[in-house]
A and B are shown apart, each in its own frame.
Chain A
Amino acid sequence: MTAARQLAERHRFRWWELLPWIAGVAVFFAFPTYLSFGTQVLITILFALSLDLVLGYAGIVTLGHAAFFGAGAYTVGMLAQHLGWNEPLSGLLVAALVAGAIGLASGLVLLRTHGLTLLMLTLCTMTLLEQAANMGAAWTGGFDGMPGLSFTKILGLFSFDALYFRSQYLYVLAVLFICFVIVRMLIYSSFGQSLTGIRENLLRMHAVGAPVRARQVLAYTVSAALAGVAGALFTQANGYANLAVLGLERAAGVLIVLILGGYGRLYGAFVGAIAYMVLEHVLAKAYPTAWQLGLGLTLIAVALFARNGILGLGDALRRRFAESAR
């Protein structure tokens, strides 16, 4: 196949891209008692997907992405708690708008910087929001957060299922699918191509006349909105929001998920979230007091031997087999 044809057909759906969604639906029937865990995995996938857009595609290194997750989580929480706005879908939309607005405002300032300075400033932004949530107890519940939140039926049909998470699982899966389609469309678009260019070589992108910062800010804003949706889903599915949604642990966790799966690969978020959370779950069950040791050793192994994540390792093995077959 010629390079031009390959490029022209790259955006087309491949049959195997259905597999994650078939698996997602299969889990609903095969593991009905694990749907709470499954819901958390799906939310983490969406959060990691939002991070992949900026880190993996636009090359923006951030350690404060939980700021947007938290903004979304607190938005739907405060709407439900104080304004009686319990309708889930419109809540998601408002959360996306709020998180996107914070992303736009912070991006306009932060993306003037690069490297370590940017890393620190994103961390500072998240810490500021965390402290604001801590201090604004009248609205946010402060240290205790907002427990016991309830939401109306999804589309007026499906109640949130506090015990088995059946509705939540399918609801989050559906939202993840929509968000995935949006991200997929973006990364295969001309805009996505230019983001990849920015990641690959900033100097060259300036030299081809690209409005680099405007593109970065736009990507950052869209990514923030998607992270806000993930945060909102967290609050709606679990019925609470607290400071943990805004913390460094969550920000670092999603970064690890993406690195583990392979960033800039679209499906890295899926593989990383499943691998990380299943591993965490299994290790915590088997070794309740030392499970983090196993997780740490796994991450060291990935950092040493699979620097492009699990998907990168798969690619490298495939290339090696192809070369040896020649």
Chain B
Amino acid sequence: MLETKGLCRSFGALEVARDIDFRLERGARHALIGPNGAGKTTFVNLLTGVLPPSRGKVLLEGEDVTTLAQAKRVKRGIARTFQINQLFRGLSVLENVCIAVSERLGVSGSMLRPAGKRADAIEEASRLIGMLRLHTDAGRRIVELPYGRQRLVEIAIALGLNPRVLLLDEPAAGIPSAESHILLDAIATLPKDIAVLIIEHDMDLVFRFAERITVLVSGAIFAQGTPAEIAANAEVRAVYLGNAA
């Protein structure tokens, strides 16, 4: 579904993505792990069009989207969350999700009809908020929410875009471990044909979620395989997992 071929990105002499050949199949539950500074977020930025690659291609359903702007990639079904929350902090949870849903429904350019009369957008946003168990916070402004709840709003916004490919950049960071199951439950309810790529440091969550894992080190793919294969890989253990596996 989403594929990269020879993807490279340099900042001056610093290579942050090196010849990455990566494939995310339809319906995949894939995790991208690696030590800090491995280039995981840069890779997501390359996939979403935030950064243009120095070399290589990004293909969506076989179509070259390398030069497409970020907004156009979103329209084609690539949605993401951010490592650090990127929310509309002065707006309510419901409004945050509504903005995303309205954008997807193509009604955001309407200058005449009040946003409040878009019952379809409000209903869908409310459903997503309920799915992430944020309904008690729906009317609260983002600045009034604890960080962990804000992470869930990030995910609700991404889901509001009805993605075909969902890229979650450290979605569980800041979510209390007792609530991380909400995240997994939400992912479990997604249609099976949505491909989900998760970048995460919480190995427990990674191994519960992923059917396949890619290990990125110094901007290059170091290893790929099933969770069992990665856990058994001595080199990966040495480079990244240490004793955790």
Contact = CB atoms under 8 A, between A and B. Distances in A.
A186 B109 CA distance: 10
A289 interface: no
B178 interface: no
B117 A194 contact: no
A112 interface: no
A2 B94 CA distance: 10
B91 interface: yes
Contacts of A206: 50, 70-71
Contact of A197 (B71, B75, B79, B99): B99
Contacts of B90: 200
B112 A7 contact: no
A188 B139 CA distance: 17
Given A204-B86, A204-B87, A190 B94 contact: no
Contacts of B74: 207-209
Nearest to A206: B70
B75 A7 contact: no
A17 interface: no
Interface string B106-134: 01111111111111011100100000000
Contacts of A256: none
Interface string B61-92: 00000000011101100011010001111111
Interface stretch (A143-151, A210-218, A292-300): A210-218
B3 interface: no
B112 A185 contact: yes
Contact of A211 (B50, B71, B91, B122): B71
Contact of B115 (A4, A190, A205, A208): A190
Given A208-B74, A209-B104, A9 B110 contact: no
Contact of B98 (A7, A186, A189): A7
B161 interface: yes
A188 B114 contact: yes
Nearest to B74: A209
B114 A11 contact: yes
Contact of A188 (B104, B107, B115, B138): B115
A186 B69 CA distance: 27
A191 B93 contact: no
Interface size classification for chain B: 35 or more
A8 B107 contact: no
Contact of B139 (A6, A192, A210): A6
A207 B102 CA distance: 13
B95 to A, nearest CB: 7
A205 B87 CA distance: 9
B102 A209 contact: no
Contacts of B79: 207
Contacts of B98: 7, 193
B107 A2 contact: no
Contacts of A200: 87-91
Interface size classification for chain A: 20 to 34
B103 interface: yes
Contact of B99 (A2, A4, A6, A193): A193
B99 A8 contact: no
Contacts of A205: 99
Interface string A246-273: 0000000000000000000000000000
A210 B89 contact: no
Contacts of B99: 193-194, 197, 205, 208
Most buried by A among B88, B110, B115, B139: B115
A207 B115 contact: no
A141 to B, nearest CB: 37
A235 interface: no
A10 B119 CA distance: 13
Contacts of A163: none
A197 B119 CA distance: 19
A192 B115 CA distance: 8
Contacts of B82: 203-204, 207
A11 B71 contact: no
A201 B102 contact: no
Contacts of A190: 102, 107-110, 113-115, 118, 121
Interface of A: 2-4, 6-12, 185-186, 188-194, 196-197, 200-201, 203-212, 215
Interface of B: 48, 50, 70-72, 74-75, 79-80, 82, 86-95, 98-100, 102-104, 107-119, 121-123, 126, 138-139, 157, 160-161
16 contacts: A3-B139, A4-B94, A4-B138, A7-B95, A185-B111, A185-B112, A190-B118, A194-B99, A197-B91, A200-B87, A204-B82, A206-B50, A206-B71, A207-B86, A209-B74, A211-B71
Closest 5 A-B residue pairs measured CB to CB?
A: A209-B74, A3-B139, A11-B114, A3-B138, A200-B88
